[in-house]
Amino acid sequence: MFDNFPLWPQRASTMAGNVDALYIFLIIVCGLMTLLVFTAVIYFAARYRYRQGVPAEQIEGSIPLEVTWSVIPLGVFMVIFLWGAVVFFQSRTPPRDATEVYVVAKQWMWKLEHAEGQREINELHVPVGRDVKLIMTSQDVIHSFFVPAFRMKQDVVPGRYTVAWFRATKPGTYHLFCTQYCGTQHSGMIGDVVVMEPAQYEAWMSGAPTGPLSAAGEKIFAELGCATCHRSDGTGRGPNLHGVFGKPVALEDGRTVTADENYLRECILTPGDKRVKGFQPIMPPFQGLVSEEQVNALVAYVKSLSPSTQPGAATTSAAVVAPQASGKASPKATEGSQGN
């Protein structure tokens, strides 16, 4: 009779069990504490009730009792904190070899593009048993990518990348919601995550021969003239972007940053904010000149220039941005070459 009233959503990812276990532990602890408090209230109300003719007694404090009700709750809270921290860091640390999908949220839809080039709207196809990393940004307001069956929720913020990952464990179709109020049609910003068997997924991927995202980024890189300044032989007016992704980059102001996705993005859109040491600020900003999809493609291309990184890796190359080789240097080039 309870088939239509499940206590928990279906579990369909490797993280779902860990999240549920912590949640159940919290419910048990809260339930036991509630029971203890109400039991104590009832007992003390009966034991120390007002009785005519019986004078009240002064009760002095008890050091052992005070230590007990301080140490035991502290221990319980530390267990909750450590357990929650482990679950949090596991859910926020994508595996290095994860398949990458770029997500652009806008009122009121999800636009997704696989590193292999396939594009989807309000639907995401993934293989079962494979790590999938989502590299997400918003085109307008704050959204939130939530898949209950995966116990995964991540805010999607304009002006930067946020990252989430999952590994689906069961084929099927699972609901995708936006859980951050984003306007009048917020409730309609829904979709599906379709988890497929590996063979079915490969067949689906081969049905849209669009070419990898990095190839699109390379084309944009050339069209913007970035290759003029960001030369692979190191003779250009901008930094060499080959191998820069994920590496430390020295900036002109003395700081050292890691060339990750957000740094690459910043270098493309506002290259003057973090200038690479040894390069003049001659690269123009591309804010408003390139779309979010084009920025994603440029980032993917710069990442592809680093052999040690997987196609579509979520980290960004800091070197590209800061150095800004020439007035026409491509955003892509600015992203990855700064630090090297």
How far is 326 from 238, CA to CA, in rounded Å?
7
Q: Do 192 and 319 fall into the same domain?
A: no
Q: Give me the residue label for tokens 């997924």.
A: 201
The per-residue pLDDT for 337 is 36
Please identify, among 211, 236, 263, the residue that sits at the C-terminal boundary of a domain.
211
Q: How confident is the model at residue 209 (pLDDT cuts 50, 70, 90)?
A: low
Task: Report the C-alpha gap between 100 and 303 in whole angstroms.
Answer: 12
Mean pLDDT of the 192-210 span? 87
Q: How confident is the model at residue 3 (pLDDT cuts 50, 70, 90)?
A: low
* Count of structural domains within the chain: 2
Whether residues 69 and 192 share a domain: the answer is yes
Is the domain of 7 the same as that of 103? yes
Kindly tell me if the per-residue pLDDT of 29 is higher than 50: yes
127 lies in the same domain as 106: yes
pLDDT digits (tens, 9 = 90+) for 210-244: 788 888 888 888 888 887 888 877 777 888 888 88
Of 175, 190, 211, the last residue of a domain is: 211
Residues 190 and 225 placed together within one structural domain of the fold: no
> Tokens in use for 43?
């007992």
244 and 180 within one domain: no
CB–CB of 230/271 below 8 Å? no
Q: What is the CATH number of the domain that holds 118?
A: 2.60.40.420
> Is the predicted pLDDT of residue 340 greater than 70, yes or no?
no
| Domain membership of residue 276 as a residue range | 213-336
| Residue from 107, 95, 237 nearest 166 by CA | 95
Question: If we measure between CA atoms, which residue out of 135, 165, 156, 144 comes closest to residue 298?
Answer: 135
Note the pLDDT of residue 157: 94
Q: Are 191 and 255 found together in one domain?
A: no
| Most confident listed range (122-131, 217-226, 260-269, 329-338) | 122-131
Residues 150 and 241 both lie in one domain = no
Asked if 204 and 247 sit in the same domain, the reply is: no
- Mark which of 179, 211, 243 sits at the end of a domain: 211
Tens of pLDDT, residues 229-285:
888 777 778 888 888 888 888 888 888 888 889 888 988 888 888 888 888 878 888
Give the tokens for residue 198: 């590996």
82/182 same-domain check: yes
Residues 75 and 180 in one domain: yes
Q: What is the mean pLDDT of the chain?
A: 84
**Model-level pTM?**
0.79
Domain match, 201 and 231 both: no
Give residue-wise pLDDT tens across range 36-51: 999 999 998 888 777 7
Kindly state the greatest CA–CA separation across the chain.
Answer: 100
Q: What is the CATH number of the domain that holds 245?
A: 1.10.760.10
Q: Is residue 323 over pLDDT 70? A: no
Distance CA 320, CA 36 (A): 60
Average pLDDT over residues 325-329: 37
| E-state strands within 200-318 | 248-250, 256-258
Dump the DSSP string for 31-93.
Answer: HHHHHHHHHHHHHHHHHT---TT---------HHHHHHHHHHHHHHHHHHHHHHHHHHHHHT-
